[in-house]
Amino acid sequence: MTPDPLLRVDRLTTVFDTARGALPAVDAVSFEIRAGETLGLVGESGSGKSVTALSIMRLVQPPGRIATGRVIFKGRDLLTLGEREMQRVRGAEISLIFQEPMTALNPVFRIGDQIAETLVVHGRATKRDARAKAIDLLRSVRIPHPESRVADYPHQLSGGMRQRVMIAIALSCQPSLVIADEPTTALDVTIQAEILDLLREMKSALGLSLLLITHDFGVVAETADRVAVMYAGRIVETGPVRAIFRSPAHPYTRGLLASMPGGRPGERLRAIEGSVPLIGELPPGCAFTPRCPNRFEPCPTAPPPDYPAGIGHEAKCYLHDPHMTALQSAAHPQSAVRSPQSPDAAR
């Protein structure tokens, strides 16, 4: 019998109230994270990844609000908890590593005090013991000379060290789930690799589950077990990381993979034409239709449901609807619509 997932997000919708009405930034998003698993949440800027993370933590600020859905964590729906109960979950059971540590860390408090505060607030240490534990945590995230660094202010640390402090704070209460929101975006390539190595090491040592939010498929390939691809507030494809890389089922996923560096020297990168639609300006059908090279008749009129694309692999794309593709083939035998498994389509 398969155990229940650690986290199950079920049709989560988060909207922003505007003069034009409630506009969805996260639209009926569903995914699961099992114990000890890393799920990579991938998509361009503006796809709704960070709003999804904030919604799970119930940190969306007005005019944003969670409209519908469920966030089941260890059998409890976080959206039904009182604020006091939710405060006991944040930081202690689910931790969030923010994209930019310089804005997440308080500039007027020493880093040791900020780590110690997390430990004391959640009852993991007394004020007397908290400093020693803060030093141990800095040592565990490979900050040199932690005994002296514990007294530094955030501006005295490099970007990589500040991100290590954020990881130390996130892990201080030994949570079950860590949400890392673009944890390497502001860092150079060498430091990025070190931070990813550190996250993998901490995940293995502590038995954590990890939701890794990124726009970089290279990071996903190195770190994730499964992938959820997000576009315009919707999850358009989910599957094991190997299946996504070997047989991407959604045209958007294929476009993202084709735009990755790694071809012959001097070869021009392939970009996806157009841009992510603005909130409130989604087309009536599949949101990717205006940019999709494989679009056909039903795409502009109705959003597709999830279709099986393999074992544990699903895609919101009419290319995987046997009924639709049979009709399309009959009507247009020489159609340019290609099978998603064809070499040309996967390039």
What is the pLDDT at residue 260? Answer: 84
pLDDT of residue 329: 59
Distance CA 132, CA 157 (A): 20
Instruction: Round to whole Å and give the CA distance between 296 and 323.
Output: 13
Q: What is the pLDDT of residue 333?
A: 53
DSSP 187: S
What is the percent of the chain where pLDDT is above 90? 72
pLDDT of residue 261: 78
Supply the pLDDT for residue 187.
79
DSSP helix/strand/coil, 147: helix
CA dihedral angle for residue 238, residue 243, residue 247, residue 253, rounded to 10 degrees: 40
pLDDT of residue 130: 95
CA angle 52, 57, 63 (to 5 degrees): 65
- The answer to whether 114 and 106 are in contact (CB under 8 A) is yes
Give the tens place of pLDDT for each residue, 87-129: 999 999 999 998 888 888 999 999 999 999 999 999 999 999 9
DSSP letter string, 293-314: TT--TTTTTS----EEEETTEE
Give domain limits for the chain. Answer: 94-172, 247-346
User: Is a pLDDT exceeding 80 seen at residue 336?
Assistant: no
Whether residue 343 has pLDDT greater than 50: no
Q: Does residue 258 have a pLDDT over 80?
A: yes
106-112: long-range pairs with CB below 8 Å, 24+: 106/154, 107/153, 107/154, 107/155, 108/153, 109/153, 110/150, 110/151, 110/152, 110/153, 111/138, 111/149, 111/150, 111/152, 111/153, 111/154, 111/157, 111/165, 112/138, 112/150, 112/151
pLDDT in tens, 10-25: 999 999 999 999 999 9
Global pTM reads 0.89
Q: What pLDDT, on the 0 to 100 scale, is given for residue 330?
A: 57
pLDDT digits (tens, 9 = 90+) for 125-147: 999 999 999 999 999 999 999 99
pLDDT at 346 (0 to 100): 38
Average pLDDT value for the chain? 90
pLDDT digits (tens, 9 = 90+) for 276-334: 998 888 999 999 999 999 998 889 999 999 999 999 999 999 999 987 656 555 555 55
> At 267, is the pLDDT very low, low, confident or very high (cuts 50, 70, 90)?
confident
Q: Is residue 95 within 8 Å of residue 170, measured between CB atoms?
A: yes
265 pLDDT above the threshold of 90:
no
Q: At what angle do helices 127-140 and 159-171 cross, to 10 degrees?
A: 130
pLDDT, tens digit (0-9, with 9 covering 90-100), for 24-48: 999 999 999 999 999 999 999 999 9
Question: What CA–CA distances, in Å, run from 121 to 88, 117, 190?
Answer: 9, 6, 35
pLDDT reported for residue 338 = 45
